[in-house]
Structure 1
Amino acid sequence: MTDISATHVVPSRSVTDKAARARLAYLDGWRGLSIALVLIGHFFPVPGINLGVLGVEFFFVLSGRLMGEILFIERFPLKKFFKRRFSRIYPALLVFVIAAMVGLSGTFIAFKWKAALTALTFTYNYAGILINRAGALDHIWSLCVEEHAYIILALISVVVTGRGNVVRLLVTLSLLAMANGAISYWVYGMDYEHSYWRTDVHIASILLSASICLLKHDDRLPSLLKGPYVSLVSAAAAILLFLDPVPTPIHYLFAVPLLALAVNTLDTSSWHLSGLLSSRPMVMIGLWSYSLYLWQQPFYKFVAEQGSAPIPMLAAVFACALCSYYLVEKPARAWLNRNW
């Protein structure tokens, strides 16, 4: 999934280089954990829990935290914000979709040009459930939710004044979105995709995390939620609530708020968690996470639908993702940020 660079949330005015690097490390490590859960869930599924779905929520709550800091605390200029989002997201996405159109047309995965267009216009999360789907692009629904969140949060940052008013609005919208999902799933009997691919439902994960971020920054979190083990305990409880026997709406009504709390209290977490996330393997996987996210889907489909061996397919994912990161994503972002 797309990510906002953790370097944006490191204030340059009063921190040392060492502190800045440490903060960047464990946020990238959280991102690495997120994509690791997605890859394990897709290629080596664990009975009793959908780690792929859980990994997406890890991504969303991190995005909520980072967007909360960038847009409401750092007050990053919106023009520059959207330029940087575009430069990070679109070149790699465009290359992936073109490669998928060329490589998957005529294979067992039914590839459709309309689906490709909705992926490139960030409307796949609605078009995919209402109009046209392509299995190799199904993961783009989550990217669409995140892009929509960028726009909504940017508008709120412009229109709503006062930190307290912003938090109240974010919490209200989050609760409405979570209720919307529960009603769609329980009352109207919609399946997971029709209930939880929609931005009007799934944006709750991002908005709620952003609101907790602002509360923490203003020192308005209860003292009970400030201990060194809050992040670890919250994340562990959230994972337990994502077990298959737990009804799907409960995942989003209770587990997601716990994950949002976990990612926003990483700063004060014990060394056991922040140290693990700051390890070089986790940080490197985090840096590659967007390209890994893009390229894992078609190979996952080979495993799920054709019974292909998962290890060679996973190796192919890393090969494509590393090419994407070093040949497309990183140079394109640098060139666009420098020249645009």
Structure 2
Amino acid sequence: MSEISATHLASPRAIVERPARTRLAYLDGWRGLSIALVLIGHFFPVPGINLGVLGVEFFFVLSGRLMAEILFIERYPLKKFFKRRFSRIYPALLVFVIVAMIALSGTFIAFKWKAALTALTFTYNYAGILLNRAGALDHIWSLCIEEHAYIILAAISAVVASRSRVIPLLLVLALVAMVNGAVSYWFLHMDYEITYWRTDVHIASILLSAAICLLKADGKLPTLLKGPYVAVSAAVGAVCLFMDSVPTPIHYLAAVPLLAIAVNALDFSTRFLSGWLSSLPMTTLGLWSYSLYLWQQPFYKFVYEQGSNPWPMLAGVFACALCSYYLIERPAREWLNRNW
């Protein structure tokens, strides 16, 4: 999924001095862990738990933390914020959709141009459950939610100046979204996709993490959540609650809050955990994560629907993703950020 730079924050007076911002390697490693869970869950599924779904939640809570830091703490200019989001996300997405539409034409996961259009307009998460779907694009539902969250959080940052008001607003909105999901699934008997592909439900993961991040920044995070083992304990608890035997709404009512606590407690974690997440393999996966996220889906569909050998398919994922990252994603981002 899309990446927001994992950085220390500049003071309000130093907003123009962007080079002073220092990258936090363990947050890149968290992103690497997220994409690793998605890949394992799709290509080497573990009985009893959907690691792919869990990996998406790891992405969402990280996005919530980083967006809160950038929009509410650093007060990053919104015009530049959206320009950088566009340069980071859209070129690689556009190329992926075009290449997939050409390459997969006539296959069992044949492309539909209407589905492609909804992917490129970030409406696939609703159109996919109401109108048109294409198997190679089904993962775009999560990217749509993240893009919608950018707009919602940016609007809140523009309208609500006081963080003391932002935090309760985010918590209330997150609670409403979580209850909305539980009601849709349990009482209206909607299935998983119709319930949890929707932004009005799934944005809770991002909003809740953003609220916890702001509580931490304001020194209001309970001392109990600042221990060196909180991040590990909360993440392990979340994984246990994401088991298939646990009712789906509980995943989002209980497990996601634990993940939101975990990603925000990384700053206080043990050297072992932060060191492991900061290791070269994990941070490298984090850098490649968006391209890996884009390109894994069609290969996963071949494994899932055709029973193909997962290892060659996974190799294909990395080949396409690395080409995407080094030939499209990174050059396009750097050129657009430099010239736009």
Indicate the TM-score class for this superposition, using the shorter chain for normalisation: over 0.9
Task: State how 1:39-118 maps to structure 2 within 5 Å.
Answer: 39-118=39-118
What per-residue deviation string (whole Å, max 9, x for no partner) do you get for residues 222-277 of structure 1?
A: 11111111111001100000001000000000000000000001011011211110
Cα separation, 2, equivalents of 1:47 and 1:292: 23
Cα separation, 1, equivalents of 2:70 and 2:242: 29
Normalised to the residue count of structure 2, the TM-score between the two structures is: 0.96
Cα separation, 1, equivalents of 2:90 and 2:138: 17
* Partner amino acid, structure 2, of 1:61: V
* Partner amino acid, structure 2, of 1:41: G
Cα separation, 1, equivalents of 2:106 and 2:38: 27
Matched-pair identity in %:
80
Task: State how 1:1-340 maps to structure 2 within 5 Å.
Answer: 1-7=1-7, 9-11=8-10, 24-340=24-340
Counterpart of 1:16 in structure 2 is none
What per-residue deviation string (whole Å, max 9, x for no partner) do you get for residues 54-85 of structure 1?
A: 00000000000000000000000000000000
Q: What SS does the aligned partner of 1:6 have?
A: coil
Q: 1:292 to 1:179 in 2, by over 3 A?
A: same
Q: What SS does the aligned partner of 1:178 have?
A: helix
* Partner amino acid, structure 1, of 2:62: L
What per-residue deviation string (whole Å, max 9, x for no partner) do you get for residues 10-60 of structure 1?
A: 4386xxxxx976x52100000000000000000000000000000000000
Give, in angstroms, the shift of residue 161 of structure 1: 2.4
Normalised to the residue count of structure 1, the TM-score between the two structures is: 0.96
Q: Is the 8 A contact 2:39 2:296 kept in 1?
A: yes
Cα separation, 1, equivalents of 2:100 and 2:53: 23
Q: What SS does the aligned partner of 2:189 have?
A: coil
What per-residue deviation string (whole Å, max 9, x for no partner) do you get for residues 102-123 of structure 1?
A: 0011001131000000000000
Q: Is the 8 A contact 2:277 2:283 kept in 1?
A: yes
Cα separation, 1, equivalents of 2:308 and 2:223: 51
Q: What SS does the aligned partner of 1:48 have?
A: coil
Cα separation, 2, equivalents of 1:286 and 1:63: 13
What per-residue deviation string (whole Å, max 9, x for no partner) do you get for residues 208-228 of structure 1?
A: 000000000001011111111
Cα separation, 2, equivalents of 1:299 and 1:86: 26
Cα separation, 2, equivalents of 1:335 and 1:258: 38
Cα separation, 1, equivalents of 2:295 and 2:273: 28
Cα separation, 1, equivalents of 2:140 and 2:33: 19
Cα separation, 1, equivalents of 2:67 and 2:239: 24
Cα separation, 1, equivalents of 2:272 and 2:124: 39
* Partner amino acid, structure 2, of 1:133: R
Q: What SS does the aligned partner of 1:298 have?
A: helix
* Partner amino acid, structure 2, of 1:287: L
Cα separation, 2, equivalents of 1:228 and 1:315: 37
Cα separation, 1, equivalents of 2:146 and 2:21: 25
**How many residues are treated as equivalent by the alignment?**
333
Q: Is the 8 A contact 2:9 2:74 kept in 1?
A: no
What per-residue deviation string (whole Å, max 9, x for no partner) do you get for residues 133-161 of structure 1?
A: 00000000000000000000000001112
* Partner amino acid, structure 2, of 1:278: S
How well do the aligned residues superpose, as a CA RMSD in angstroms?
1.2
Cα separation, 2, equivalents of 1:101 and 1:165: 45
Write out the 4+ residue segments of structure 1 that deviate beyond 6 Å after TM superposition: none
Counterpart of 2:17 in structure 1 is none
Q: What SS does the aligned partner of 1:129 have?
A: helix
Q: 1:27 to 1:241 in 2, by over 3 A?
A: same
Q: Is the 8 A contact 2:185 2:192 kept in 1?
A: yes
Give, in angstroms, the shift of residue 171 of structure 1: 0.2
